Each structure stands twice: as structure tokens, then as C-alpha cells.
Amino acid sequence: HGVDLPQLVEQILRSYQLNAKDKGLELGQELEDNLPLVLGHYDLLLQVLTNLVGNALKFTVSGGRIVIRAYRLKYNPAIPCNKPLVRIEISDTGIGIDPEDQEAIFDRFFRVENRVHTLEGTGLGLSIVKNIMEKHNSRIHLISEVGVGTTFWFDLAVYQENCSSQESVKELKDLPPQVTINPS
């Protein structure tokens, strides 16, 4: 299936814009012009962005900024198996994640300790994100600095209509139970 990223991002912004405003946060997008469709499952990718933007809003204090970016990666058709990709990034100017926690945050039920929260959550969001990216033959990455902010990013293959050999999104039957994100 070909997924229209601008449409997906628009839907995310619509559902979180008020929430961001309430918290004194700026929420924006920087999408490259003429992005191609990407190979993926719309509802699952919506869930990925819901979790990542929800986290960015939760772990950023008033005055901060959250941006969703998407752009084509340079690729060389002369390199065997080199596929055209689009990179998607979700950046925040939030509290950041300590290097020693950066692997564990993708584990089920893991939440960073000793945080000034009252912040709700079960610690499932990122394990679901990781699982969904695996279904897309991709991986979720992050760059973070405590007190400065965090960027999560992942790559998706460009959708090519007449390419029968392209890998499709894997079977979805063994996904973990869905969690509803309550942006409050």
C-alpha cells in the first residue's frame, strides 16, 4: 500500500494541535515538497506517529518545540539493493534521555525512573513503535541529549507501483494489543 505522508502528518497535527497549545508548545511540520508515497500501512504508521508525538508533548516543558520532518534520502541506483527511502523525524526540545536508558526505553513497560512525573503512561508506547517498524522492515533510532531534546527517526521505502519484487508489509496478526493514547 502507498501511504501519503503529508496526509498522515496532517491528521496527527489536527489531533494534537490543541493539546500542544494548551501546554504552551509549538507543534509543526517540515515536509519536503513532492514527497513520494511510501510503502507501509497507514493505520500502523498513524499509531507510530501518535506514540512519538505524544511522548514529545509529554516530555517537553512549556515553551518547547516539536517538529515532524520528512525528506527523501539520497540514493545511488548504481549500488545493488540500494532502494529509495524517505526519512521521518520527530524532534523535541524536551528533557532528553540519558545514554544508559536509550536502549531500554524500547522494552515493554520500561519508564525512566526518578522523573518528576505525575506523567501518565504504561511504558508500552515505544515497544509498539519498535514492533510496527519491524513489520515495515525498518528500525526506529534516536539521538538525545539530557536537557536539550530528543529526535526519533526511521526510514520507509518509497512505494513503487509497478515493482512486483518489492517486499510488502509483513503479516500483522502478531502485533501487541493496541493502547489508546490519551493526550492530556
> Which residues sit at the interface with Mg ion, rule CB under 5 A?
55, 125
Structural contact between residues 119 and 23, judged by C-beta atoms closer than 8 angstroms: no
Work out the angle between the directed axes of helices 125-135 and 42-58 (0-180°, nearest 10): 150
Assign 68 to helix, strand or coil.
Answer: strand
Structural contact between residues 102 and 121, judged by C-beta atoms closer than 8 angstroms: no
Residue in 122, 166, 168, 178 binding ligand ATP, rule: CB under 6 A: 122
Residue 91 has φ and ψ, to the nearest 5°, of -110, 140
Structural contact between residues 83 and 158, judged by C-beta atoms closer than 8 angstroms: yes
The nearest distance, CB 181 to Mg ion, in angstroms, is 7
Kindly state whether residue 89 participates in binding ligand ATP, applying the rule CB under 6 A. Answer: no
Kindly state whether residue 92 participates in binding ligand ATP, applying the rule CB under 6 A. Answer: yes
Return the one option of ligand ATP, Mg ion, none that residue 124 interacts with (CB less than 5 to 8 A, by type): ligand ATP
Residue 127 has φ and ψ, to the nearest 5°, of -70, -35
Nearest residue (CB) to Mg ion, 64 versus 125: 125
The nearest distance, CB 79 to ligand ATP, in angstroms, is 33
* CA–CA gap between residue 40 and residue 47 (Å, rounded): 12
How, if at all, do strands 141-145 and 65-72 pair? unpaired
Looking at beta carbons, which residue is closest to Mg ion? 125
Nearest residue (CB) to Mg ion, 47 versus 55: 55
Kindly state whether residue 94 participates in binding ligand ATP, applying the rule CB under 6 A. Answer: yes
Nearest residue (CB) to ligand ATP, 29 versus 160: 29
Kindly state whether residue 49 participates in binding ligand ATP, applying the rule CB under 6 A. Answer: no
The nearest distance, CB 107 to Mg ion, in angstroms, is 13
Q: 11, 3, 71, 7: which is closest to 40 by C-alpha?
A: 3
Residue in 27, 86, 88, 97 binding ligand ATP, rule: CB under 6 A: 97
Binding site for ligand ATP (CB under 6 A): 51, 55-56, 59, 92, 94-97, 105, 110-112, 121-126, 150, 179
